[in-house]
């Protein structure tokens, strides 16, 4: 409304903002932005700003490449690491096409559409992702390396933890930007860290995941370090995940809690879990979207390999943490932070809602450590595996009508193109491992 626009413009003036970044993401979840001087804000808020969509990954279209960015006023935030005078503020934008229609390749739109479906049944989807990352050294030429900055372990303190000041800076910056940080700590692997923030509505949280990643990467750069969210930068040690806690609430109440039920888990909770398990293979295409993602999903490093759930053990793909009441939730442990959070949450909500609508009961929980089962026992129990590669995951996506419908044809076609191109390029490359293995013996 006009009042909201004038209010926003007044606020930007009061905050001494000199530049506005209009931000959105491509299909890979990589943030993109264009900066405009503050006097253009009124135009941006009323008409939107035209961009050329044809150079954005996953936006490509033969015609209709002109697109409009429309800022979402609620996402206003000042970038705290930029100058304190003539500040830089950003808005996250929705992408529209010619004719003022939401662009079906805009990941944020895809998530919104799925949240609306859930809303029709009265549900709000709450999610809380745990973001992990490695902090590496940069070399003399300022390029990232895979050299650790410390050799600390889980919950370690200085001097084993050499990134405490960097984590502090990230936490303070994110807090300034409206995050409610819950915890931050050194993770299991050398130079690996985690920062957790409070769960919320999936749209706001997806926005936060994007903000988190570029804020963390920027602050690392300013400190001569490098943060990477790639899932397995170093072979044979723990990889980096993005566990996603999820719950459905109705009228402000968590529907997963039932004081009288077995494990105090409601039928809705079980159906949500059933839906996620049914669609887990297709969800892998969204939660594990890189070639490298599948080097994390291997036995022995706290990452799931089998499609199971449990209220007791952390080797399961879905874990139900012990907390109950309003904190009752299911933790999906397969995704990693290379995901596009909008598309991942869209797929999760579609799967969960399919479970609720169609009363999909999950199989019995797997409370034993699955890695101790023999192959024969596993097959007998009907326990299936997650896809082993990006190509396999994409094939699973194409077989899954519910998830394809949730994403829409434009996104599915583009994801397929990307999966094929990545897989081909990887296959055409000769990797160091091959040289080491074969150059002497053959």
Q: Which residues bind Mg ion (CB under 5 A)?
A: 130, 194, 243
Q: Whole-angstrom Cα distance, residue 73 to residue 350?
A: 27
Q: Which of residues 191-210 bind ligand ADP (CB under 6 A)?
A: 196, 198-199
CA angle 254, 341, 147 (to 5 degrees): 120
Active site residue 64: no
126 lines the binding site for ligand ADP (CB under 6 A): yes
Residue closer to ligand ADP (CB basis): 13 or 250: 250
Minimum CB–partner distance for residue 128 and ligand ADP (Å): 3
Which listed residue (106, 207, 331, 336) is catalytic? Answer: 331
Q: Is 331 a catalytic residue?
A: yes
Based on the shown chain and the rule CB under 6 A, indicate whether residue 327 belongs to the binding site for ligand ADP. yes
Catalytic residue among 15, 52, 367, 413: 52
Q: Are 193 and 135 in contact (CB under 8 A)?
A: yes
254 binds, among Mg ion, ligand ADP, none (CB under 5 to 8 A by kind): ligand ADP
- Of these residues, 108, 186, 193, 243, which one is catalytic? 243
Which position among 23, 25, 75, 127 is part of the footprint of ligand ADP (CB under 6 A)?
A: 127
**In sequence order, which ranges of 223-261 are alpha helices (DSSP H)?**
none
Residue 55, C-beta contacts closer than 8 angstroms, at least 6 positions apart: none
Tokens 């996402």: give the residue. Answer: 75
By CB under 6 A, is residue 400 in contact with ligand ADP? no
Nearer to ligand ADP, 323 or 379 (CB): 323
Rule CB under 6 A: is residue 331 a binding residue for ligand ADP?
yes
CA angle 44, 174, 172 (to 5 degrees): 135
| Closer residue to ligand ADP (CB): 112 or 243 | 243
Q: Which helix (H) or strand (E) holds 99?
A: none
Task: Tell me which residue has tokens 């490509």.
Answer: 60
Residues 14-73 that bind ligand ADP (CB under 6 A): none
In the residue annotation, 132 being an active-site residue is answered as yes
The contacts of residue 204 (CB under 8 Å, 6+ apart) are none
Helix extents (H) in 130-248: 164-176, 202-222
| Pairing between β-strand 124-138 and β-strand 244-250 as defined by DSSP bridges | antiparallel
**Per CB under 6 A, which of residues 130..169 are in contact with ligand ADP?**
130
Of the candidates 248, 356, 255, 368, the one whose C-alpha atom is nearest the C-alpha of residue 312 is 368
Tell me whether residue 148 or residue 199 sits nearer to ligand ADP (CB atom): 199
The H or E element spanning position 156 is none
List contacts with ligand ADP (CB under 6 A). 126-128, 130, 182, 196, 198-199, 243, 245-247, 254, 321, 327, 329, 331
Query: Residues with catalytic annotation?
Result: 52, 130, 132, 187, 194, 243, 314, 331, 333
């Amino acid at each position: 409304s006009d009042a909201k626009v004038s209010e926003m413009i007044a606020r930007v003036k009061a905050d001494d903002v000199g530049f506005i970044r209009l931000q959105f993401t491509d299909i890979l979840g990589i943030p993109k932005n264009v900066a405009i001087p503050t006097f253009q804000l009124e135009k941006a808020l009323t008409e939107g700003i035209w961009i050329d969509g044809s150079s954005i990954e996953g936006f490509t279209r033969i015609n209709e490449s002109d697109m409009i960015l429309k800022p979402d006023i609620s996402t206003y935030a000042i970038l705290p690491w930029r100058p304190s005078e003539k500040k830089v503020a950003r808005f996250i934008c929705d992408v529209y096409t010619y004719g003022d229609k939401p662009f079906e390749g805009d990941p944020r739109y895809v998530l919104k559409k799925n949240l609306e479906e859930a809303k029709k049944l009265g549900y709000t989807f709450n999610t809380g992702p745990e973001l992990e990352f490695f902090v590496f050294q940069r070399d003399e030429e300022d390029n990232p390396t895979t050299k650790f900055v410390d050799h600390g372990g889980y919950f370690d303190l200085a001097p084993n933890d050499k990134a405490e000041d960097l984590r502090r800076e990230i936490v303070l910056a994110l807090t300034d930007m409206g995050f409610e940080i819950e915890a931050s700590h050194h993770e299991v692997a050398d130079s690996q860290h985690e920062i957790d923030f409070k769960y919320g509505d999936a749209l706001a949280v997806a926005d936060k995941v994007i903000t988190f990643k570029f804020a963390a990467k920027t602050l690392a750069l300013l400190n001569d370090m490098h943060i990477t969210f790639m899932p397995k930068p170093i072979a044979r040690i723990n990889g980096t995940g993005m566990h996603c806690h999820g719950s459905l609430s109705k009228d402000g109440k968590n529907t997963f809690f039932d004081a009288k039920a077995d494990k105090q888990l409601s039928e809705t909770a079980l159906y949500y879990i059933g839906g996620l398990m049914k669609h887990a293979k297709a969800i892998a295409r969204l939660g594990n979207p890189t070639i490298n993602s599948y080097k994390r999903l291997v036995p022995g490093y706290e990452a799931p390999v089998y499609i199971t759930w449990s209220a007791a053990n952390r080797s399961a793909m879905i874990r139900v943490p012990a907390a109950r009441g309003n904190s009752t939730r299911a933790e999906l442990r397969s995704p990693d932070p290379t995901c596009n959070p909008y598309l991942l949450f869209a797929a999760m909500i579609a799967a969960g809602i399919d479970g609720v609508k169609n009363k999909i009961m999950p199989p019995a929980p797997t409370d034993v450590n699955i890695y101790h089962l023999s192959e024969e026992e596993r097959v007998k129990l009907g326990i299936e595996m997650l896809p082993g590669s990006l190509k396999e995951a994409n094939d699973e996506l194409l077989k899954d009508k519910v998830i394809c419908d949730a994403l829409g044809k434009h996104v599915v076609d583009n994801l397929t193109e990307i999966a094929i191109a990545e897989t081909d390029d990887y296959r055409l490359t000769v990797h160091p491992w091959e040289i080491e293995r074969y150059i002497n013996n053959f």
